[in-house]
């Protein structure tokens, strides 16, 4: 199996993204001043390329101000004593420094235009957003908190899949988060996922596709198997738009592709619909018991 | 692909044949060759122990892929009754997933298995045991049926992984697996999953959210294939043996992590050396697990299943 796609993109984008002041758009080549790019929510003003956004930038672009983190004290261990070219703890350290994150997801409860919401945001800059024990535990804790407080939950996905360095413990996080999603949804609560670039493997095959509403960012790469694996299997090149958000929309797999600048508005409207439905349910329940 | 286990077996099979020939000759001739036969038998046992007594994780992966290893249908055909059901009710009857209503040791159940082929022709029909999205939708339909009827569920896991083709992507492989996982997690009936061969990543997990997970000694269950893992980490699929060791994918490892509940031993040399005995042992373990779970009311069952997965993971805090 060759290098998966998300890995290839990462190595291509990194040098430009890390430059202190200037960033070159990988799509149109425009040289952008980082402060302007950040103010534009990491969308290229020239070609609308959506850069991979950090979890905290995303959270501050959505919440009204308050955000109480959940599970930030849950930190990665090294259950398999993993070593390949580097040890797993060394990789974790490097990613911590590079991303200023403690793991691949940030979870918490905040308000979005007045709606109390459980919000989880995966960040590709930490181990490619892969899901190990900590990502699974934090997301489970988030869903359990959302269930207890009966508030909607929005998850932003960005992931290369299950984290190899934690072996089967990582794969089992799909089962664990699924169980938490199912409990949350079966209780009648509203669940939205927003698929960002890239959403693949074990994450796309679990909570990403278990929600009531699935939104995606423009051109986000979304799929189960890596593009190269498929190309090798069928021995031909796939069209450029294969596995993009737009492709999935066309195939009927997702509800909508939403530009980042319109995302907060779109999510707010969804939260309003859900709140309206919940009020109906509560009113009719009251009527039957009266 | 040549399987190194088969290479190793070749010499043993020769030896077996010689012992048989000598036995036949011994019976029909006046010369007593029993000492010679005993010596050969001892030699045979010694070599067998040497080759198969201590298998590395990578050797177990090959054992799990052995073409003679019993497949899901080999187990299902030993149930007293099996009424096969077909299709996802939308577009296909995926032959990599088999299932239906069945009776095991007098107990009515729903059985679902991942079915690979024994030869090229059957493998084409079964897509090498790699389910399409339609296969996972078929499995989802069966688990929901079990819930409606109140029947316990028995699953057999044996897949390299979910089908990785362009068509499967177009038919929403991710969504099909995700929905299957969801349906298993909330099913109000007991689920017993058994890994009988290959447990390839999400494609295997899709049928194994269960109240009890059993696993044959020489099967494997892994987050990624050793070849794929080696290719990603070292850009060298040839380092698959090293990857197999690091991934901790054997039944013993997974019992240690609390992911698998019971390891079912295999005869020396692998399940196919005593197919009938292996199948009987597996069905017996399944029956015991079903018996344990039978009296649990749906709510307690679901709660226990939730907690079983809730606990999995290791971190520091």
Q: What is the pLDDT of residues A216-270, one digit of tens each?
A: 999 999 999 988 888 887 788 899 899 999 999 999 999 999 999 999 999 999 9
What is residue B29's predicted lDDT score, i.e. its pLDDT?
A: 83
Alpha helices in chain B (DSSP H): 4-28, 34-52, 57-64, 72-76, 120-126, 133-149, 166-170, 173-186, 201-205, 226-234, 240-246, 251-256, 275-293, 298-310
What is the number of CB-based contacts under 8 A between chain A and chain B? 189
Q: Is the pLDDT of residue A6 over 50?
A: no
Chain B residues touching A202 at Cβ < 8 A: 201-202, 223
- Among B205, B228, B310, the residue with its CB nearest the CB of A1 is B228
Q: Could you give the angle at the alpha carbon of A166 between the alpha carbons of A164 and A170, nearest 5°?
A: 85
Chain A residues touching B172 at Cβ < 8 A: 209, 251, 253
Pairwise CA distance, residues B206 & B179, whole Å: 9
What is residue A264's predicted lDDT score, i.e. its pLDDT?
A: 98
Nearest to A206, CA basis, from A188, A239, A179: A179
Q: Is the pLDDT of residue A60 over 70?
A: yes
A162 part of contact set with chain B, CB < 8 Å: yes
The number of beta carbons lying within 10 Å of the beta carbon of residue B125 is 12
DSSP H or E segment with residue A138: helix A133-149
Mutating which of B186, B231, B308, B315 best tests the A interface, going by the most A Cβ atoms within 10 A?
A: B315
Chain A residues touching B309 at Cβ < 8 A: 172, 175-176, 179
Per-residue pLDDT tens over the stretch A90-101 = 999 999 999 999
CA B166 vs CA A81, A223, B124, B188: distances in Å: 36, 10, 17, 35
CA B129 vs CA A232, B102, B115, B116, B160: distances in Å: 19, 21, 5, 4, 7
Residue reference for tokens 């002041």: A21
Query: Contact at 8 Å (CB) between B177 and B203?
Result: yes
A:265-284 residues touching chain B, CB 8 A cutoff: none
What is residue A37's predicted lDDT score, i.e. its pLDDT?
A: 94
CA B289 vs CA A11, A200, B104, B193, B286: distances in Å: 48, 35, 12, 10, 5
Chain B residues touching A91 at Cβ < 8 A: none
Do the Cβ atoms of A242 and B169 come within 8 Å? Answer: yes
Q: How confident is the model at residue A164 (pLDDT cuts 50, 70, 90)?
A: very high
- Among A1, A80, A201, the residue with its CB nearest the CB of B246 is A80
What is residue A236's predicted lDDT score, i.e. its pLDDT?
A: 82
Do the Cβ atoms of B182 and A178 come within 8 Å? Answer: yes
pLDDT tens, chain B, 317 aa long: 578 888 888 888 899 999 999 888 888 888 888 888 999 899 999 998 988 988 999 999 999 999 999 999 999 999 999 999 999 999 999 999 999 999 999 999 999 999 999 899 999 999 999 999 999 999 999 999 999 999 999 999 999 999 999 999 999 999 999 999 999 999 999 999 999 999 999 999 999 999 999 999 999 999 999 998 998 888 888 899 999 999 999 999 999 999 999 999 999 999 999 999 999 999 999 999 999 999 999 999 999 999 999 999 999 99
SS (H, E, C) B6-24: HHHHHHHHHHHHHHHHHHH
Query: Contact at 8 Å (CB) between B194 and B157?
Result: yes
Q: Is the pLDDT of residue A12 over 50?
A: no
Query: Contact at 8 Å (CB) between A59 and A67?
Result: yes
B108 CA: distance to closest CA in chain A (Å): 26
Pairwise CA distance, residues B195 & A111, whole Å: 45
B162 CA: distance to closest CA in chain A (Å): 9
With 0-12 / 13-18 / 19 or more C-beta atoms within 10 angstroms meaning exposed / middle / buried, residue A87 is middle
A136 part of contact set with chain B, CB < 8 Å: yes
What is residue A14's predicted lDDT score, i.e. its pLDDT?
A: 45
What is residue A89's predicted lDDT score, i.e. its pLDDT?
A: 98
B167 CA: distance to closest CA in chain A (Å): 10
Query: Contact at 8 Å (CB) between B104 and B41?
Result: no
Rg (CA), chain B: 21
Chain A residues touching B179 at Cβ < 8 A: 209-210
A126 CA: distance to closest CA in chain B (Å): 16
Chain A residues touching B170 at Cβ < 8 A: 251
Do the Cβ atoms of B247 and A1 come within 8 Å? Answer: no
Per-residue pLDDT tens over the stretch B121-176 = 999 999 999 999 999 999 999 999 999 999 999 999 999 999 999 999 999 999 99
- Among A181, A186, A253, the residue with its CB nearest the CB of B172 is A253
Per-residue pLDDT tens over the stretch A113-138 = 999 999 999 999 999 999 999 999 99
Query: Contact at 8 Å (CB) between B229 and B243?
Result: yes
- The size of chain B, in residues, is 317
B49 CA: distance to closest CA in chain A (Å): 29
Give the residue, A285 or B202, on which the prediction is more confident.
Answer: B202
What is residue A288's predicted lDDT score, i.e. its pLDDT?
A: 66
Query: What are residue A111's phi and psi, to 5 degrees?
Result: -120, 140
What is residue A5's predicted lDDT score, i.e. its pLDDT?
A: 52
Buried b (16+ CB within 10 A) or exposed e, B258-280: ebbbebbebbebbbbbbbeebbe
Q: What average pLDDT does this structure show over A44-69?
A: 96
List the single residue in A with minimal CA-CA distance to B172: A253
Pairwise CA distance, residues B153 & B151, whole Å: 7
Pairwise CA distance, residues A181 & A144, whole Å: 9
What is residue B1's predicted lDDT score, i.e. its pLDDT?
A: 53
Query: Contact at 8 Å (CB) between A171 and B229?
Result: no
Do the Cβ atoms of A3 and B174 come within 8 Å? Answer: no
A:201-220 residues touching chain B, CB 8 A cutoff: 201-202, 204-210
Question: What is the end-to-end Cα distance of chain B in Å, rounded?
Answer: 46
Do the Cβ atoms of B169 and A168 come within 8 Å? Answer: no
B315 CA: distance to closest CA in chain A (Å): 5
- Among A80, A132, A174, the residue with its CB nearest the CB of B202 is A174
- As given in the structure block, the two tokens for residue B264 are 């079912």
Q: Are strands B315-316 and A75-76 parallel, antiparallel or unpaired?
A: antiparallel
ipTM of the complex: 0.95
Pairwise CA distance, residues B191 & A219, whole Å: 40
> Taking all residues of chain A, what is their mean pLDDT, rounded to a whole number?
92
Query: Contact at 8 Å (CB) between B64 and B2?
Result: no
Query: Contact at 8 Å (CB) between A147 and A115?
Result: no
Chain B residues touching A75 at Cβ < 8 A: 315-317
Nearest to B126, CA basis, from B93, B157, B156, B83: B93
A141 part of contact set with chain B, CB < 8 Å: no
B47 CA: distance to closest CA in chain A (Å): 33
Do the Cβ atoms of B313 and A172 come within 8 Å? Answer: yes
Q: Are strands A153-159 and A115-122 parallel, antiparallel or unpaired?
A: parallel
Pairwise CA distance, residues B83 & B145, whole Å: 14
List the single residue in B with minimal CA-CA distance to A225: B164
A:69-98 residues touching chain B, CB 8 A cutoff: 73-77, 79-80, 82-85
Q: What average pLDDT does this structure show over A160-172?
A: 97
Q: What percent of chain A has pLDDT over 90?
A: 84
């Amino acid at each position: 199996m060759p290098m998966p796609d998300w890995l290839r993109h990462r190595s291509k984008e990194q040098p430009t993204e890390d430059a202190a002041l200037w960033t070159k758009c990988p799509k149109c080549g425009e040289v952008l001043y980082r402060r302007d790019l950040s103010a534009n929510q990491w969308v290229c003003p020239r070609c609308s390329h959506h850069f991979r956004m950090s979890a905290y930038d995303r959270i501050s672009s959505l919440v009204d101000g308050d955000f109480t983190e959940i599970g930030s004290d849950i930190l990665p261990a090294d259950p398999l004593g993993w070593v390949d070219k580097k040890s797993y703890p060394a990789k974790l350290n490097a990613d911590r420094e590079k991303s200023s994150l403690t793991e691949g997801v940030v979870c918490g409860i905040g308000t979005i235009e007045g709606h109390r919401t459980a919000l989880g945001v995966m960040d590709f800059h930490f181990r490619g957003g892969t899901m190990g024990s900590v990502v699974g535990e934090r997301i489970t804790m988030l869903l359990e908190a959302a269930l207890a407080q009966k508030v909607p939950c929005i998850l932003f996905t960005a992931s290369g899949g299950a984290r190899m360095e934690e072996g089967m413990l990582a794969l089992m996080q799909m089962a664990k988060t699924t169980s938490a999603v199912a409990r949350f949804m079966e209780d009648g609560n509203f669940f939205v996922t927003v698929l960002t670039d890239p959403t693949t493997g074990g994450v796309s095959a679990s909570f990403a596709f278990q929600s009531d509403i699935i939104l995606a960012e423009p051109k986000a790469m979304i799929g189960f198997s890596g593009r190269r694996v498929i190309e090798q299997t069928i021995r031909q090149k796939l069209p450029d738009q294969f596995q993009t958000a737009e492709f999935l929309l066309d195939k009927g797999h997702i509800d909508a592709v939403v530009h980042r600048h319109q995302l907060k508005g779109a999510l707010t409207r969804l939260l309003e619909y859900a709140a309206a439905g919940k009020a109906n349910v509560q009113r009719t329940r009251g009527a039957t018991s009266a | 692909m040549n399987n190194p286990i088969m290479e190793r077996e070749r010499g043993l099979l020769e030896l077996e044949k010689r012992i048989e020939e000598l036995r036949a000759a011994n019976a029909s001739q006046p010369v007593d060759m029993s000492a010679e036969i005993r010596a050969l038998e001892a030699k045979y046992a010694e070599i067998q122990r040497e080759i198969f007594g201590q298998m590395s994780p990578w050797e177990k992966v090959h054992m799990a892929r052995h073409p003679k290893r019993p497949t899901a249908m080999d187990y299902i055909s030993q149930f007293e009754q099996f009424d096969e059901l077909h299709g996802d009710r939308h577009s296909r009857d995926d032959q990599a997933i088999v299932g239906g209503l069945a009776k095991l040791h007098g107990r009515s159940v729903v059985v679902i298995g991942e079915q690979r082929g024994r030869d090229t022709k059957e493998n084409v029909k079964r897509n090498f045991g790699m389910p399409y999205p339609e296969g996972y939708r078929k499995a989802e339909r069966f688990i929901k049926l079990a819930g409606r009827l109140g029947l316990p569920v028995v699953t057999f896991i044996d897949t390299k992984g979910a089908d990785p083709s362009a068509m499967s992507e177009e038919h929403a492989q991710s969504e099909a697996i995700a929905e299957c996982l969801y349906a298993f997690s909330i099913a109000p009936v007991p689920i017993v999953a058994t890994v009988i061969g290959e447990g390839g990543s999400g494609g295997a997990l899709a049928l194994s959210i269960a109240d009890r997970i059993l696993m044959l000694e020489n099967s494997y269950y892994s987050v990624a294939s050793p070849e794929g893992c080696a290719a990603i980490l070292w850009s060298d699929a040839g380092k698959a043996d090293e990857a197999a060791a690091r991934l901790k994918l054997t039944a013993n490892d997974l019992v240690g992590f609390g992911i698998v509940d019971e390891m079912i031993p295999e005869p020396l040399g692998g399940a196919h050396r005593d197919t009938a005995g292996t199948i009987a042992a597996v069905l017996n373990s399944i029956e015991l697990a079903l018996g344990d779970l039978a009296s649990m009311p749906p709510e307690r069952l679901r709660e226990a299943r939730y907690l079983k997965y809730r606990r999995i993971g290791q971190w520091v805090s």
